[in-house]
Amino acid sequence: MVTTFEFDEDGFLTERRALLEAGIRKASEKLFLRAEQINRDCHKLLFSVSPHNEEGREVLVTVTFIRALEQYQAAVLLLQGGLVAPAKVEIRATLEAVFTARAIAAHEEALKAFITADLIQRRKLIRKAQQHEHTNLAELRGKATDALVERLDAEIEETDAKSLTTERLAQLAGITTVYAMLSMATHSAVRELECYLLLNAEDKIQSLEYAPSLEEVPWLLLTAANCILLGGDAIAKAFSVPFEAKADHLKFIEAGFASLGPGSPGPRLA
């Protein structure tokens, strides 16, 4: 795809960004339309259920799916604007929320682990506030009394709380492959950063390539759509409701990936 990026003196895209977005959308029109339809169907699913106050599992699955939907929508909008790198970050965040929703929906242990892991995070934050003099942590330092720390430590010991890693959530959710690939893009690995350099045949730097490559847009749209549908599964499981729209969307996504071919752009591995 050949697209012209123009930046103003402050480094932002000029007013011609509307033309840029129109060109990106036109090149992947069917994919953007499907992404929007998936968003509508996921919201229909979400608003078809009502979590009960006393059911922690239902509440957590619902709110984490809402978070996933917000990040999914952000990814689609960023891709339409040609902002590929931040879109990858949003897709990874979508995946993490989906992992949480699916894990809690499927495993009682995940529900307890997710809740008690917050105790560990709070204790770590207090420790950092006590060890550093940054002004952003001043309020927390003032509230981190000895009594609060003792109470947290007691709760951690009583509940046998442990840190809950994203990798562990992915295992419980049953989806790890795409996360591993996108994780590299998010953490700015060396190969991902090469996209900002224009290299010659001898791999010598010729110039900076500030404008992003848009070849990944179709792959990322399909990946994001696949991910949010997996999040919809969590709602369907937690509330025992059907997610009838999923099958047709997955069929479209599978065909989309197949049409891109084995050499299609995607997150670089090693």
Share of the chain above pLDDT 90, in %: 41
Residue at 223 is within a domain: yes
265 pLDDT higher than 70: no
Residue at 109 is within a domain: yes
CA dist 152 → 129, 261, 264 (Å): 15, 52, 50
Residue at 6 is within a domain: no
Helix, strand, coil % (nearest 5) of the chain? 70, 5, 25
Distance CA 270, CA 267 (A): 10
Q: Using alpha carbons only, give the angle 121, 175, 54 rounded to the nearest 5 degrees.
A: 55
Residue at 265 is within a domain: no
Whole-structure pTM value: 0.80
Question: What is the residue range of 75's domain?
Answer: 21-260
Here the tokens at position 227 are: 């991910």
Of the pLDDT bands very low, low, confident and very high (cuts 50, 70, 90), residue 220 is very high
Residue at 1 is within a domain: no
How many structural domains comprise the chain? 1
> What are the tens digits of pLDDT across the range 29-69?
999 999 999 999 999 999 999 999 889 899 999 999 999 99
Residue at 199 is within a domain: yes
Q: What is the mean pLDDT of residues 133-155?
A: 79
pLDDT number for residue 102: 94
pLDDT number for residue 120: 87
Residue at 112 is within a domain: yes
Helix extents (H) in 81-207? 84-106, 108-131, 138-143, 146-159, 166-173, 177-186, 190-193
Residue at 4 is within a domain: no
